[in-house]
Amino acid sequence: MATMTMAKALNAALADAMLDDERVLVFGEDVGQLGGVFRITDGLQARFGDKRCFDTPLAEAGIVGFAVGLAMSGLRPVVEMQFDAFAYPAFEQIASHMAKLRNRTRGALSVPMVIRVPYAGGIGGVEHHCDSSEAYYAHTPGLKVVTPATVEDAYSLLREAIADPDPVVFLEPKKLYFASGEAELPARTAPFGRAVVRRPGTDATLVAYGPAVPVALEAAEAAREDGWDLEVVDVRTIVPFDDATVTASVRRTGRCVVITEAQGFAGVGAEIAARVQERCFHALHAPVLRVAGLDIPYPAPMLEHTHLPGVDRVLDTVARLQWDDRPDPRWLAQGSAA
Amino acid sequence: MATMTMAKALNAALADAMLDDERVLVFGEDVGQLGGVFRITDGLQARFGDKRCFDTPLAEAGIVGFAVGLAMSGLRPVVEMQFDAFAYPAFEQIASHMAKLRNRTRGALSVPMVIRVPYAGGIGGVEHHCDSSEAYYAHTPGLKVVTPATVEDAYSLLREAIADPDPVVFLEPKKLYFASGEAELPARTAPFGRAVVRRPGTDATLVAYGPAVPVALEAAEAAREDGWDLEVVDVRTIVPFDDATVTASVRRTGRCVVITEAQGFAGVGAEIAARVQERCFHALHAPVLRVAGLDIPYPAPMLEHTHLPGVDRVLDTVARLQWDDRPDPRWLAQGSAA
Amino acid sequence: MTTTPQAVRRASPRTRRPATPVAPDPTAGLLPQTAPVRLLDPDGTPLPPRADLPAPPVETLREMYRRMVVGRRFDAQATALTKQGRLAVYPSSRGQEACQVGAVLALRDDDWVFPTYRESMALTARGIDPVEVLTLLRGDWHCGYDPTVVHTAPQCTPLATQCVHAAGLAYGESYQGRDTVALAFIGDGATSEGDFHEGLNFAAVFKAPVVYFVQNNKYAISVPLSRQTAAPSLAYKGVGYGVPSEQVDGNDPVAVLAVLTRAVAHARAGHGPYLVEAHTYRMEAHTNADDASRYRDPDEVEAWRDRDPVARLEAYLRSRGELDDAAVAQIAAEAEAYAADLRDRMHAQPTVDPLSLFEHVYAEPTPQLVEQREMVRAELAADAEGDA
Amino acid sequence: MTTTPQAVRRASPRTRRPATPVAPDPTAGLLPQTAPVRLLDPDGTPLPPRADLPAPPVETLREMYRRMVVGRRFDAQATALTKQGRLAVYPSSRGQEACQVGAVLALRDDDWVFPTYRESMALTARGIDPVEVLTLLRGDWHCGYDPTVVHTAPQCTPLATQCVHAAGLAYGESYQGRDTVALAFIGDGATSEGDFHEGLNFAAVFKAPVVYFVQNNKYAISVPLSRQTAAPSLAYKGVGYGVPSEQVDGNDPVAVLAVLTRAVAHARAGHGPYLVEAHTYRMEAHTNADDASRYRDPDEVEAWRDRDPVARLEAYLRSRGELDDAAVAQIAAEAEAYAADLRDRMHAQPTVDPLSLFEHVYAEPTPQLVEQREMVRAELAADAEGDA
Ligand SMILES: Cc1ncc(C[n+]2csc(CCOP(=O)(O)OP(=O)(O)O)c2C)c(N)n1
Ligand SMILES: Cc1ncc(C[n+]2csc(CCOP(=O)(O)OP(=O)(O)O)c2C)c(N)n1
Ligand SMILES: [Mg+2]
Ligand SMILES: [Mg+2]
């Protein structure tokens, strides 16, 4: 086992995929000589030449549409969006073409391509650089949506994404890029569609993915002081979703909190909460609660800590899981006012 | 009371708004002389002149961005996207500018504008003409998201939207355009943020909006045969959401099914289900269930009836609301396999 | 623009201050001619031959005539099928036959076409089964043909998006050592979309072998060209990308074929993309569901009848002795047979298995889709029981 | 392009076939000159005056010099503030002073500016409080000034999106009878975005009074111009929209001001938009966080030092007797004072109320936001208790 950053593991995954498969092309804005603003493509152009790793004109719809065309010609494009909100110009290409081409042609044209998106916040970035955009993709049938929380998963899931026959939106939590972890490369953790229990526990399940996973783990650690033994499930692939692992955990613990960094309203956290209560209703001692970003545009750096779900907010929420089996006064009050 | 179509009511709302407020401009693709492909802007150019109702170049980002600029200059643009999926090219302008400009400038610049989107299916339209795109907007803080289900609401909510100080995505259910209803214009039903009980009932609550409301009402009618007395709540404004009306209903009935035409995964239906169980947990006799479109790209016309949530699927789901208080075997089987 | 009797090169002498050195013209080879290229007069009389634009071989023109006649008959049949309820909707390309067929004849079979909804005629002219071409509009699936077999992308509805795909595919083909060319069709209205800009620019920067072929039929549904652009003409957009451009009389079959042949050769030779604007006219409404009388003058339509591309090519070929009454009759009969066959085959109501909805969303259905498939399967079984 | 000693008009005589009528040139007035307009040599020596481009009044040039010197000092101070941790990030516009200040001087106070993140210097030159300009980069809020007061949109990060806003605002102003002009700044890289295309096109079709001002500083972060476009130069994009265009030496303050003044006058007179491309150079890295040594040669940067716009204008004004050592020293002192004041004021750590997060999402917070505000309020109260 070696210690390395997620950035390094992602870089290695790209390099190994390029080595293994000549059809893999890596392109986007500043990914060539610069190696990307986060250096995820560092050295790839030098190593594989500027036909396999190259800069494009500055146009995201163009990048994604160009990749769709390349995939049609039999290549395997892996493109980078420089930041989350800068993928929005490509939304039509993503939703109407990349996601649908296989379906439109009854499988005749597949689009094996990957869009890498550095996403979410916690890095003090200015506006438009810290959006949590996973729900937009997860809500679009035809896309697979994946996000690693550990160094090993970063490598493994990115290799999986590049090898996958379907288009994948690969979300890289920016704040974890330079966090170090143990990994032995080439790591292969699990195929798509497998969540993992990152920490076993008996009293309640925290479900999280991407940047929220370390928060969940930290909260679980802190909760021991309060006498709670919390289980943490890392979703890993949002689409396809691993109901089996999540529901098995919640059935065991009887309580569940879903943690996402994204604004909560109509987010992936809502989907998880809805699924869990659908499937575990009789095992639940309390409603499935959510801890999410506030329903506001991502704030300026000096206020991001208030926006982001932190350990305290998670613990406050765990405390509301009706340990004494009384209804939550917070909702009761509101309901009776109606 | 007169009988009229929703299309006519929307047309009247635009005309009355233009009459009342000189700052209101209506523009988009084919909205001028043609009166829009659904004729919602019929006659406006003839009546108000081609400076107040006009065609633009064929470019949706351009239309929305132009409207943002016009709103900055003090006008009140009301733009039409020709079909749901053709608003995707404007996604960046919607998410990064229209939704955020007030926030970015601490309220100095407001963007009182309306994007009208004919949305959802059921009209036998070819691909890209029938998307249910409400979740993309509802998940974007800063936008209000509204969708009428009745002729009166169509008029009233559109007037409200045009008068609102915030940017509004106004979703018009295509399949209801030419359905007739009773209305006395100028109708004013309710301000934003008020759901309404369309049909009282005691046994379970069906929560729906837009194109799903008639389905819910029909299902409630049919359910009488099965001995169920179902309440139907029409959400009307997805953002801001009326928790009070919805939770009050579910607390009364103890059971809830959320019906949306959109693909279910990470949709607005998930949000409603998550909220309802959070807020009504102790009143619930069964999990909140969802009936949604399938998680597939909107199908070709000949298969759309299989995709769309219909009365039978709603009733099947109501039947699963654990009337005998036994767990749903469907989910149990799956959970134990894990 | 089409009133100038003969295409001319840009010619106005620019005022030049004396004593400044003459810089090479950076626009050389990039700007279109100031009037659309024309090789036949509207009545079919040939104009003087041009050294820079070899006339297409006459056998090709005869074949072009044949496909245009069959294409027009196909188009009429498709419109008729909407009236009989066999097609949900049909966007006619009547009047655009020279463009639709010219593009196909300028390409090899292994070249790729990126069509819009308007190109049904081009696709049938390419030899794709008309029933497969009309699948989208009949409504049994989104695309009826296998793009990899016929080298034709699905007909594209989201406007201009195919411009970028064409750039990517063309670059990908050349990257893999193939000399394939891609031709992307696009309408005048769609040139206003950002994707047109991004497609041209990517193609130019990567020297992708793509021909962008704008059929400027003067309307985007109801919106006239004057609301799309203030440019002298759409072909003037090329220079801003460093892409050589030409405009052509889109109702002159000989000129269309000549200009497109040159454009394809340019692309195939590795010189990068080429932009061609054809001035033509949509003779019918936008689709059968549209009411063109709301926004355009019947006189305008009438005026364009005199520039009919089929009659024009017929007159030309007759005048050259390449076509006679017998040949015309034989081609007309072929067209009738084609239409009759199509009508018969479209008569059968297709059956589509509802469970196929769950295929092809992903290579393998997700667990979520498997669950939903089981739900639908149960519903279908219950329905069948109820029916029995 | 900047090596041609004197701007010249496009001049290559095109081969014309005899006996064809001469059509009027449809590009007349739309194409830029073949080389960037230059009015001063790099060493400040004036070039022969031009009839078509009146030289700006000398008082304006003196004022321009003053603002360029202050602007450069401001820019250096902002970079220093990043090192002191007072700013999260800063994109320098060193080297682009002629463009930043020229644009501001070509406008009236009630004209609107649509800046990008690069335009901090332009905004301070416009008289906006530098602390308000730097709010975005310090991180207490997204925009520190009130756009309606200073007629300046928030600095725009999503590239090219402001091009469309500028068209809308400018059209809206003229619609309401005001003769306001909007000037949208944009970089070379951002011209590749679809919104640049759509913005120019909307402005042209609606004859909106906008000047699109491309600062072609040769890089988009690390990506050189050759990867953005194959066009002869970015100014050649105008003709495709019917928009008159010009290119100018962006390090020649006199030429920049003259060309922009003409462009603004064109727009204000109701003739619609105008596209100006200024050839300049980003002397620093993209931002302080960027490492330009990874992608560009120091020699290239050195070469551009010789074309420094501030020194050039100073030399010119001195040669005309409009500036002497005392004046230069006085302006330098003013710049120092400006920077010192900024440094002092940026020293204070701003406090931002967390509850302000819930304001300005909507005119009134939604019930959902009210709930969330109560949650945060409770958290803050608990924290305060914990601290106490
Ligand atoms: C992105 C997008 N916006 C809007 C539409 C709706 N629409 C379909 S056809 C059409 C007009 C297209 O005009 P043009 O490009 O000139 O092509 P033509 O129909 O004349 O062949 C419009 C607005 C669409 N299909 N895609
Ligand atoms: C839509 C979008 N895509 C990507 C980015 C990330 N980005 C910020 S600056 C920049 C380069 C811009 O270059 P240019 O337009 O030449 O302006 P300059 O920075 O040189 O002034 C990039 C790619 C962005 N801000 N917006
Ligand atoms: Mg057209
Ligand atoms: Mg630049």
Answer whether A41's CB lies under 8 Å from A80's CB.
yes
Chain position carrying tokens 């919640």: A250
Residue contact B139–A136, C-beta within 8 A? yes
pLDDT at C160 over 50: yes
Tell me the shortest Cα–Cα distance from C339 to chain D, in angstroms. 41
Tell me the shortest Cα–Cα distance from A125 to chain D, in angstroms. 8
pLDDT computed for residue B325 by the predictor:
62
Answer whether B288's CB lies under 8 Å from C129's CB.
no
Residue B29 CB less than 6 A away from ligand 1: yes
CA atoms within 13 A on the CB side of B144: 32
pLDDT computed for residue B328 by the predictor:
66
Residue D227 CB less than 6 A away from ligand 2: no
d(CA A69, CA A75): 9
Set C282, C312, C316, C338: catalytic member: C282
Query: Choosing among D2, D3, D12, which should be mutated to test the C contact, i.e. which has the most C CBs within 10 A?
Result: D12
- Mean pLDDT, residues A257-279: 98
pLDDT at C350 over 50: yes
Amino acid residing at D85: G
pLDDT computed for residue A329 by the predictor:
65
Residue contact B58–C193, C-beta within 8 A? yes
Set B129, B139, B285, B307: catalytic member: B129
Q: How many CB atoms lie within 10 A of CB C96?
A: 29
Answer whether D208's CB lies under 8 Å from D163's CB.
no
Compute CA B310 distance to the chain's CA centroid, rounded to the nearest angstrom: 17
CATH architecture type of domain D58-347: 3-Layer(aba) Sandwich (3.40)
* H-helix or E-strand spanning residue D256: helix D253-266
- Whether the bond between B186 and the residue before it is cis, its omega within 30 degrees of 0, is yes
Q: Tell me whether D175 touches chain B (CB under 8 Å).
A: yes
pLDDT at C2 over 50: no
pLDDT computed for residue D313 by the predictor:
98
d(CA A14, CA A21): 10
d(CA A177, CA A40): 9
d(CA B306, CA B312): 11
Q: Which of C161, C221, C282 to mutate for ligand 1's pocket (most ligand atoms within 8 Å of CB)?
A: C221
Residue C157 CB less than 6 A away from ligand 1: yes
Residues of chain D with pLDDT under 70: 1-23, 388
* H-helix or E-strand spanning residue A118: strand A114-119
Return the structure tokens found at D89.
Answer: 């990030």
Tens-digit pLDDT profile for residues D343-352? 999 998 889 9
For chain B, give every domain's residue range.
Answer: 2-183, 196-332
Residue C190 CB less than 6 A away from ligand 1: yes
Q: What pTM was estimated for this model as a whole? A: 0.96
pLDDT computed for residue A327 by the predictor:
63
- Mean pLDDT, residues A222-234: 96
pLDDT computed for residue A322 by the predictor:
87
Q: Which of B75, B93, B239 lies closest to D172 in CB terms? A: B75
- Ligand 2: distance of its center to the CA of C239 in Å? 24
Residue C264 DSSP code: H
Which residues are placed with Cβ below 5 angstroms of ligand 3, an ion?
C 187-189, 217, 220
CATH H-level, domain A2-183: superfamily: Thiamin diphosphate (ThDP)-binding fold, Pyr/PP domains (3.40.50.970)
CA angle A333, B243, D379 (to 5 degrees): 55
Q: Which of B38, B58, B133 to mutate for ligand 1's pocket (most ligand atoms within 8 Å of CB)?
A: B58
Residue C94 CB less than 6 A away from ligand 1: no
**Percentage of residues in chain C with pLDDT exceeding 90?**
91
pLDDT computed for residue C6 by the predictor:
41
Q: Tell me whether A27 touches chain C (CB under 8 Å).
A: no
d(CA B50, CA B27): 10
Q: Which chains would you list as touching C if contact means 3+ CB atom pairs under 8 Å?
A: A, B, D
Tens-digit pLDDT profile for residues C184-212? 999 999 999 999 999 999 999 999 999 99
CA atoms within 13 A on the CB side of C13: 3
Return the structure tokens found at D375.
Answer: 């949650």
Active site residues of D: 282, 286, 295
- Mean pLDDT, residues C147-176: 98
Closest Cα to atom 20 of ligand 1:
C220
Contacts of D226 in chain C (CB under 8 A): 205
Q: Are strands C112-114 and B237-239 parallel, antiparallel or unpaired?
A: unpaired
Answer whether B65's CB lies under 8 Å from B27's CB.
no
Residues of chain B with pLDDT under 70: 325-338
pLDDT computed for residue D158 by the predictor:
98
Residue C213 CB less than 6 A away from ligand 1: no
Q: Are strands C219-220 and A24-28 parallel, antiparallel or unpaired?
A: unpaired
SS3 C263: helix
Tell me the shortest Cα–Cα distance from A11 to chain D, in angstroms. 17
For chain B positions 233-292, those within 8 Å of chain C (CB to CB) are: 265
pLDDT computed for residue C22 by the predictor:
61
**Percentage of residues in chain C with pLDDT exceeding 70?**
94
Contacts of A55 in chain D (CB under 8 A): 222-223, 227
Comparing CA positions, the residue from D205, D228, D230, D208 lying closest to residue D218 is D228
pLDDT computed for residue B17 by the predictor:
98
Return the structure tokens found at B191.
Answer: 């301000």
pLDDT computed for residue B145 by the predictor:
98
Tell me the shortest Cα–Cα distance from B208 to chain D, in angstroms. 19
Closest chain A residue to B262 measured between Cα atoms?
A139
pLDDT at A227 over 70: yes
Domains B2-183 and B196-332 share a fold: yes
Backbone angles phi, psi at C53, to 5 degrees: -145, 85
Chain position carrying tokens 């296998």: C146
- Whether the bond between D42 and the residue before it is cis, its omega within 30 degrees of 0, is no
d(CA B279, CA B274): 9
- The confidence band for A332, taking pLDDT boundaries of 50, 70 and 90, is low
pLDDT computed for residue B94 by the predictor:
98
Sequence-distant (6+) residues with CB within 8 A of B321 are B204, B255, B257, B285, B286, B289
d(CA C340, CA C74): 9
ipTM value: 0.96
- The confidence band for C349, taking pLDDT boundaries of 50, 70 and 90, is confident
Q: Tell me whether B105 touches chain D (CB under 8 Å).
A: yes
Residue contact B33–C189, C-beta within 8 A? no
pLDDT computed for residue B1 by the predictor:
80
- String of DSSP letters for B75-91: -EEEEE-SSGGGGGGGH
- Ligand 2: distance of its center to the CA of C273 in Å? 26
Please give the sequence-ordered ranges of beta strands (E in DSSP) within D236-279, or none if there are none: 245-249, 274-279
Q: Which of D158, D197, D366 lies closest to B239 in CB terms? A: D366
Q: Where are the alpha helices (DSSP H) in D84-118?
A: 97-105
Residue C355 DSSP code: G
pLDDT computed for residue C386 by the predictor:
83
Tell me the shortest Cα–Cα distance from D367 to chain A, in angstroms. 11
Answer whether C116's CB lies under 8 Å from B153's CB.
no
Comparing CA positions, the residue from D221, D222, D248, D249 lying closest to residue D308 is D249
pLDDT computed for residue D387 by the predictor:
77
Backbone angles phi, psi at A276, to 5 degrees: -65, -45
Chain A and chain B share a number of CB contacts under 8 A equal to 188
d(CA C98, CA C104): 10
pLDDT computed for residue D24 by the predictor:
82
Q: Which of C89, C194, C375 lies closest to B59 in CB terms? A: C194
CATH architecture type of domain A196-332: 3-Layer(aba) Sandwich (3.40)
Return the structure tokens found at C154.
Answer: 């699905």
Q: Tell me whether C177 touches chain A (CB under 8 Å).
A: no
Ligand 1: nearest atom to the Cα of C228: 16
- The confidence band for C387, taking pLDDT boundaries of 50, 70 and 90, is confident
Tens-digit pLDDT profile for residues D50-75? 999 999 999 999 999 999 999 999 99
Closest Cα to atom 3 of ligand 1:
B86
Contacts of A239 in chain B (CB under 8 A): 265
d(CA D169, CA D153): 10
- Mean pLDDT, residues A34-44: 98
Closest chain C residue to D13 measured between Cα atoms?
C13
Please confirm, yes or no, whether B139 is among the known catalytic residues.
no
Q: Tell me whether A96 touches chain C (CB under 8 Å).
A: yes
